[in-house]
């Protein structure tokens, strides 16, 4: 190899390493988006009941609480 070829090899390795690093971050982000999408679909299924009765209604937990304020 001549001096030009041997000098460009580390440069290409650095660029390839940077590219792989960015690809890994993109893949991680995509997995996060898939997880969010799954949760949103579960919420949508729960909010829009269908014939299968997938909807889960929350129990009404509202109750009145009395209290007195003393000075």
Instruction: Write down the pLDDT at residue 26.
Output: 95
pLDDT score, position 1: 47
Predicted pLDDT of residue 54: 58
- Which stretch of DSSP H or E encloses residue 25? helix 3-47
pLDDT tens-digit profile of 11-66?
A: 999 999 999 999 999 999 999 999 999 999 888 877 765 556 555 666 777 788 88
Query: Residue 39 region, left (φ>0) first, then alpha (ψ -120 to 50), else beta?
Result: alpha
pTM of the model: 0.45
Q: Report pLDDT for 55.
A: 57
CB count within 10 Å of CB 46 equals: 13
Cβ–Cβ < 8 Å for 56, 47: no
């Amino acid at each position: 190899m001549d001096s030009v070829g041997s000098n460009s090899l580390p440069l290409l390795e650095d660029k390839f390493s940077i590219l792989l690093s960015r690809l890994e971050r993109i893949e991680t982000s995509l997995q996060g988006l898939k997880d969010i999408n799954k949760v949103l679909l579960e919420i949508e299924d729960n909010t829009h009941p269908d014939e299968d009765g997938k909807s889960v209604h929350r129990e009404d937990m509202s109750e009145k609480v009395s209290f007195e304020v003393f000075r």
